[in-house]
């Protein structure tokens, strides 16, 4: 019995020394303000005092839609940030630039932050809206997400 | 001696691929934060520097799908290739195919190709990483974090000073660990497929070794182990091992060698060598030698030859013959031909001469089949002649057949569809003393409707079938069945379905008619109000006898972190008891699934690891 115990201890020491197992490595953590979700939808559920919720999430839209929404949820925000949406039409040209929108001016500690931007489809020429669109989202002028969607 | 040969064969097929396995590092990834999801075989990184043969990349973020070899660098991307620096917003690349695509979001979207390929295949993968985000990694069942990962040429992922997370909880630290190896590995190396316990088999485990090198070698060895000694009152062997090995080696473009072996701890084993030669695109010839050591029987050595020849307009020919050293024979021959448009001819025959149990005598059976068929858009007509001759028992069965079928046709603009089939069979059975003739005819008619929307949220459909059978012996019958289905959508995600079926079978013999009629009335309530809740409950009722029969209930609820609860219940109204309750707790983990299962019928608790 003692021999077996000794063998187990020796094997454990060997594994530890060889480097297979260590009992504590200081883990690294992701930067704050990372993307939880970016989605395209037809509407937003805006209840007072609650986080925004996207309604009817999809990747294909009809050319008859009035508007298309790009919804963003970010995690772990504790400073003032700038969000920006750039919408590119099927001909790859920039169709809308929201410019930088300042959020969380109070620099609150937010576990989740939600925001959105709208593309007014009905204001655009009909022959230029059908095809594959691209929307990119920038956080403090750094690209954080890109989504493709189809207008038919 | 023979056992040594077998073990030698297994060792050879096992060791040969190991010798060939390479662990050369192809890609080095370093960042302030890197995480690897074992579930999805993907990497996410922040403030990353990536070094590979293809290029050197710096980026704010990186996403890697190891399985598909796709890499996406995002945000402030700077890359260096052949001493030339470029920058972009996104860089999608496949280092294996040396294919890259730089993307810049300016006044227009600008694409720039990088690499040696003429046409980049990456445009079709632009949306690949849209749902790959950090949260997906944090919700993985098994994940690792660290600051330094390497990827080998065989696309195995190693991590240095990594922390392992199980279900999001920090676990052990590992100095150097092969992150991509685990429960099962679809690529080269060892894998453990499953370990579970049940009361009938004890502990069972399945493991193996795989080595695959494209167009050169493919080797797979599997071990299945059952430990019975922990079971009370188990009468069989204390443990059982099954080993299966299969290696395929391409000696040239058209010549292939296969080595196959099976071993069972009950002393059964067999080994087989197969040499396959391809002639042109479709023809091949195969020679094989097999040695079998069956349980409680003499050992057998078989030599086989098989050939497939495609003769184009002259038809296709297949022949296979096997000879055993104790004078056992197996032979097959088949010929298919299309002499005229819509006319097909099929001829096949086989001969077997095999030992009967432990006796020295051998059975000798010859079978043959000739089929001539004619098919059009409206109908199919075919005639068959089947012959089975037992040369040892001196018996013969010959059976000509005539089949006629009308292809399914539509009525009322597709609202109804109908089909018709008729089969006539003539039998002649002959022995040395006896000769017996018989015939039968079977006619089937089927009529079904498409789903008809009667009013908003109410859908109906039905199916009707009639069958008439008659034969020389007079055991004639007529049967008919009708199924009526109705579905009412009550509200979003909730629907009620009703089924009524009646089936009647009437036996007619001269003037005498007898038979039975059965009816069934069932209803199902389906509930699917949200993505994580799905269930149904059904009741079955016999209107003829005014009796409730059975009820089934199924519910599936999505819990936290890809955990799911599922239950299936069955109640028998006739026996007035709960027949069975199955309870499942399922964790979906991308590459595999864990299922904790309780079965009331067998009183078993099972844990299953199921590779997907």
In a domain, A3, yes or no: no
Q: Distance (Å) from the C-alpha of residue B171 to the closest C-alpha of chain A?
A: 9
Residue B79: closest CA among B61, B110, B98, B57:
B57
- Residue B602 in this model has a pLDDT that exceeds 90: no
Q: B127 to chain A: nearest residue by CA?
A: A148
Please give the full DSSP string across B205-258, using - where no structure is assigned: EEEEEEEEETTTEEEEEEEEEEE-TTSTT--S-SEEEEEEEEEEEESSSSEEEE
Q: Distance (Å) from the C-alpha of residue A113 to the closest C-alpha of chain B?
A: 15
Cα separation of B572 and B560, whole Å?
33
CB B296 within 8 A of CB B278: no
What pLDDT score was predicted for residue B10? 44
Number of H helices, E strands in chain A: 1, 10
Task: Please write the tens of the pLDDT for every residue from A30-74.
Answer: 776 678 889 999 999 887 777 888 888 888 998 888 889 999 998
User: Does B105 contact A86 at a Cβ distance shorter than 8 Å?
Assistant: yes
Q: Which two tokens stand for residue B474?
A: 């007079």
First CA to last CA distance, chain A: 75
Residue B185 confidence class, pLDDT cut points 50, 70, 90: very low
- Residue B232 in this model has a pLDDT that exceeds 80: no
What pLDDT score was predicted for residue B20? 42
> How many inter-chain contacts (A to B, CB under 8 Å) are there?
88
User: Does B133 contact A29 at a Cβ distance shorter than 8 Å?
Assistant: no
> B47 contacts in A (CB within 8 Å)?
31
In a domain, A15, yes or no: no
Residue A7 confidence class, pLDDT cut points 50, 70, 90: low
- Residue B397 in this model has a pLDDT that exceeds 80: yes
Cα separation of B476 and B15, whole Å?
65
- Which regions of B452-511 does DSSP assign to beta strands (E)? 452-455, 458-471, 476-491, 494-509
- pTM of the predicted structure, to 2 decimals: 0.57
- Residue B1 in this model has a pLDDT that exceeds 70: no
Cα separation of B608 and B206, whole Å?
12
Q: Name which of B89, B127, B175 is nearest A19 (Cβ-Cβ).
A: B175
Q: Distance (Å) from the C-alpha of residue A70 to the closest C-alpha of chain B?
A: 13
Residue B271: closest CA among B287, B249, B289:
B289
What pLDDT score was predicted for residue A17? 45
Q: A33 to chain B: nearest residue by CA?
A: B134
- pLDDT above 90: percentage of residues in chain B: 42
Q: Hey, CA dihedral for B130, B134, B135, B140, is it positive or negative?
A: positive
Q: Name which of B47, B109, B134 is nearest A34 (Cβ-Cβ).
A: B134
Q: B126 to chain A: nearest residue by CA?
A: A148
Cα separation of B526 and B520, whole Å?
19
Lowest mean pLDDT among B29-38, B45-54, B169-178, B350-359: B169-178
Helix (H) or strand (E) holding B15: helix B2-20
Q: Which two tokens stand for residue B138?
A: 């944090």
In a domain, A12, yes or no: no
Residue B15 confidence class, pLDDT cut points 50, 70, 90: very low
Q: What is the pLDDT averaged over residues B365-382?
A: 93
CB A36 within 8 A of CB B37: no
Contacts of B108 (CB under 8 A, 6+ apart): A88, A92, A93, A94
A interface with B, Cβ–Cβ < 8 A, is 19-25, 27-31, 34-38, 75, 86, 88, 92-94, 134, 136, 142-144, 146-148
Other CB atoms closer than 10 Å to residue A79's CB: what's the count? 12
Other CB atoms closer than 10 Å to residue B336's CB: what's the count? 16
Helix (H) or strand (E) holding B55: none
User: Does A142 contact B108 at a Cβ distance shorter than 8 Å?
Assistant: no
pLDDT greater at residue B169 or residue B564 = B564
Q: B125 to chain A: nearest residue by CA?
A: A148
Task: Please write the tens of the pLDDT for every residue from B421-450.
Answer: 999 999 999 988 889 999 999 999 999 998
In a domain, A4, yes or no: no
State chain B's mean pLDDT as an integer: 85
Task: Please write the tens of the pLDDT for every residue from B398-423.
Answer: 999 999 999 999 888 888 999 999 99
What residues form DSSP beta bridges with A120? A67
pLDDT greater at residue B523 or residue B1 = B523
> B166 contacts in A (CB within 8 Å)?
none
Residue B247: closest CA among B12, B21, B7, B20:
B12
Task: Please write the tens of the pLDDT for every residue from B480-520.
Answer: 999 999 999 888 889 999 999 999 988 876 666 778 888 88
Q: Which two tokens stand for residue A112?
A: 């989740």
In a domain, A14, yes or no: no
- pLDDT above 90: percentage of residues in chain A: 31
What pLDDT score was predicted for residue B439? 93
Cα separation of B339 and B213, whole Å?
43
Q: Which two tokens stand for residue B54?
A: 């293809």
> B76 contacts in A (CB within 8 Å)?
142-143
Q: Distance (Å) from the C-alpha of residue A147 to the closest C-alpha of chain B?
A: 6
Domains and CATH numbers, chain B: 23-178 (2.60.450)
Residue A8 confidence class, pLDDT cut points 50, 70, 90: low
> A37 contacts in B (CB within 8 Å)?
133, 135
Q: Name which of B107, B133, B134 is nearest A94 (Cβ-Cβ).
A: B107
Write out the residue range of the structural domain in which residue A72 sits. Answer: 34-151
CB B92 within 8 A of CB B122: yes
CB B289 within 8 A of CB B301: yes
- Residue B68 in this model has a pLDDT that exceeds 80: yes
User: Does A20 contact B145 at a Cβ distance shorter than 8 Å?
Assistant: no
Q: B132 to chain A: nearest residue by CA?
A: A37
Residue A1 confidence class, pLDDT cut points 50, 70, 90: low
Please give the full DSSP string across B330-375, using - where no structure is assigned: EEEEEEEEEEETTEEEEEEEEEEEEE-TTSS-EEEEEEEEEEEEEE
What pLDDT score was predicted for residue B18? 42
CB B189 within 8 A of CB B164: no
In a domain, A60, yes or no: yes
User: Does A75 contact B135 at a Cβ distance shorter than 8 Å?
Assistant: yes
Q: What is the pLDDT averaged over residues B201-230?
A: 83
Q: B172 to chain A: nearest residue by CA?
A: A23
Cα separation of B52 and B55, whole Å?
5
Side-chain-side CA neighbours of B65 within 13 Å: the count stands at 19
Q: Name which of B75, B126, B127 is nearest A144 (Cβ-Cβ).
A: B75
In a domain, A95, yes or no: yes
Q: Distance (Å) from the C-alpha of residue B107 to the closest C-alpha of chain A?
A: 5
What pLDDT score was predicted for residue A69? 94
- pLDDT above 70: percentage of residues in chain A: 79
Q: Name which of B60, B107, B170 is nearest A27 (Cβ-Cβ).
A: B170
Lowest mean pLDDT among B148-152, B153-157, B243-247, B261-265: B153-157
What pLDDT score was predicted for residue B13? 42
> B106 contacts in A (CB within 8 Å)?
94
User: Does B162 contact A25 at a Cβ distance shorter than 8 Å?
Assistant: yes
- pLDDT above 70: percentage of residues in chain B: 91
Q: What is the pLDDT averaged over residues B567-581?
A: 89
- Write the CATH number for A94: 2.60.40.1930
Domain total of chain A:
1
In a domain, A22, yes or no: no
Q: Residue holding tokens 């797979």?
A: B220
> B110 contacts in A (CB within 8 Å)?
92
- Residue A13 in this model has a pLDDT that exceeds 80: no
> B74 contacts in A (CB within 8 Å)?
143-144, 146
Q: Which two tokens stand for residue B544?
A: 């003829």
User: Does B135 contact A37 at a Cβ distance shorter than 8 Å?
Assistant: yes
What pLDDT score was predicted for residue A86? 94
CB B39 within 8 A of CB B142: yes
Q: Hey, CA dihedral for B472, B475, B480, B481, is it positive or negative?
A: negative
Residue B206 confidence class, pLDDT cut points 50, 70, 90: confident
What pLDDT score was predicted for residue B182? 43
Q: A85 to chain B: nearest residue by CA?
A: B105
What residues form DSSP beta bridges with B466? B445, B480
Residue B99: closest CA among B83, B112, B84:
B112
Q: What is the pLDDT averaged over residues A123-142?
A: 86
């Amino acid at each position: 019995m003692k021999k077996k115990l000794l063998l187990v201890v020796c094997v454990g020491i060997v594994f530890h020394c060889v480097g297979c197992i260590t009992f504590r490595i200081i883990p690294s953590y992701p930067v704050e303000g990372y993307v939880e979700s970016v989605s395209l939808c037809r509407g937003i559920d805006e209840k007072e005092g609650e986080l925004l919720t996207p309604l009817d999430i999809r990747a294909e839209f009809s050319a008859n839609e009035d508007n298309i929404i790009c919804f963003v949820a970010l995690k772990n925000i504790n400073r003032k940030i700038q969000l920006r949406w750039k919408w590119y039409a099927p001909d790859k040209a920039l169709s809308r630039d929201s410019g930088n929108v300042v959020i969380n001016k109070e620099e609150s500690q937010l576990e989740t932050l939600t925001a959105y931007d709208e593309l007014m489809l009905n204001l655009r020429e009909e022959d230029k809206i059908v095809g594959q669109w691209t929307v990119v989202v920038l956080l403090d002028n750094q690209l954080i997400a890109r989504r493709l969607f189809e207008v038919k | 001696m023979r056992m040594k040969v077998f073990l030698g064969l297994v060792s050879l097929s096992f060791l040969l691929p190991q010798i060939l396995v390479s662990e050369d590092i192809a890609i080095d990834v370093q960042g302030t934060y890197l995480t690897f999801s074992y579930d999805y075989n993907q990497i996410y990184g922040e403030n990353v520097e990536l070094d590979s043969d293809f290029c050197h990349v710096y980026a704010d973020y990186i996403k890697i799908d190891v399985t598909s070899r796709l890499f996406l660098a995002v945000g402030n991307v700077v890359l260096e290739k052949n001493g030339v620096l470029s920058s972009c917003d996104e860089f999608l690349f496949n280092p294996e195919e040396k294919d890259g695509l730089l993307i810049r979001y300016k006044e227009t979207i600008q694409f720039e190709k990088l690499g040696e390929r003429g046409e980049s295949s990456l445009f079709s993968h632009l949306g690949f990483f849209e749902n790959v985000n950090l949260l997906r990694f944090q919700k993985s069942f098994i994940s690792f974090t660290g600051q330094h990962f390497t990827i080998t040429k065989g696309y195995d992922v190693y991590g240095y000073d990594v922390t392992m997370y199980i279900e999001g909880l920090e676990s052990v630290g590992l100095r150097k660990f092969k992150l991509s190896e685990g429960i099962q590995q679809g690529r080269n190396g060892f894998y453990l497929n499953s370990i579970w316990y049940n009361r009938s088999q004890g502990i069972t485990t399945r493991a193996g070794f795989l080595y695959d090198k494209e167009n050169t070698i493919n080797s797979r060895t599997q071990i299945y182990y059952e430990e019975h000694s922990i079971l009370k009152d188990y009468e069989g062997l204390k443990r059982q091992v099954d080993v299966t090995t299969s290696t395929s080696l391409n000696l040239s473009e058209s010549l292939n060698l296969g080595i196959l072996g099976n071993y069972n701890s009950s002393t059964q084993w067999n080994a087989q060598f197969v040499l396959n030669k391809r002639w042109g695109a479709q023809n091949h010839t195969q020679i094989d030698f097999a040695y079998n050591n069956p349980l409680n029987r003499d050992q057998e050595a078989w030599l086989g030859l098989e050939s497939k020849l495609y003769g184009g307009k002259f038809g296709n020919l297949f022949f296979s013959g096997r000879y055993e050293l104790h004078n056992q024979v197996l032979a097959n021959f088949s010929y298919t031909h299309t002499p005229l448009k819509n006319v097909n001819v099929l001829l096949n025959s086989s001969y077997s001469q095999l030992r009967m149990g432990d006796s020295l005598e051998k059975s000798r059976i010859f079978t043959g089949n000739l089929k001539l068929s004619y098919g059009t858009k409206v109908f199919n007509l075919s005639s068959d002649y089947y012959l089975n001759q037992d040369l040892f028992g001196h018996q013969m069965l010959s059976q000509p057949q005539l089949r006629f079928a009308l292809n399914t046709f539509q009525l009322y603009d597709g609202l109804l569809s109908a089909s018709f089939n008729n089969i006539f069979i003539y039998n002649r059975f002959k022995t040395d003393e006896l000769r017996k003739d018989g015939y039968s005819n079977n006619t089937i008619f089927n009529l079904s409707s498409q789903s008809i929307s009667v009013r908003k949220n109410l859908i109906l459909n039905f199916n009707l079938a009639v069958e008439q059978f008659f034969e020389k012996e007079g055991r004639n019958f007529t049967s008919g069945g009708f199924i009526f289905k109705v579905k009412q959508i009550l509200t979003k995600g909730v629907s009620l379905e009703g089924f009524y079926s009646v089936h009647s079978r009437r036996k007619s013999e001269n003037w005498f008619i007898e038979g039975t009629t059965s009816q069934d009335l069932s209803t199902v309530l389906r509930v699917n109000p949200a993505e994580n809740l799905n269930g149904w409950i059904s009741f079955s009722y016999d209107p003829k006898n005014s009796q409730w029969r059975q009820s089934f209930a199924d519910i599936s609820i999505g819990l936290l972190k890809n955990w799911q609860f599922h239950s299936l219940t069955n109640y028998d109204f006739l026996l007035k008891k709960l027949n069975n309750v199955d309870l499942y707790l399922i964790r979906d983990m991308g590459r595999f699934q864990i299922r904790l299962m309780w079965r009331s019928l067998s009183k078993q608790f099972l844990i299953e690891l199921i590779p997907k």
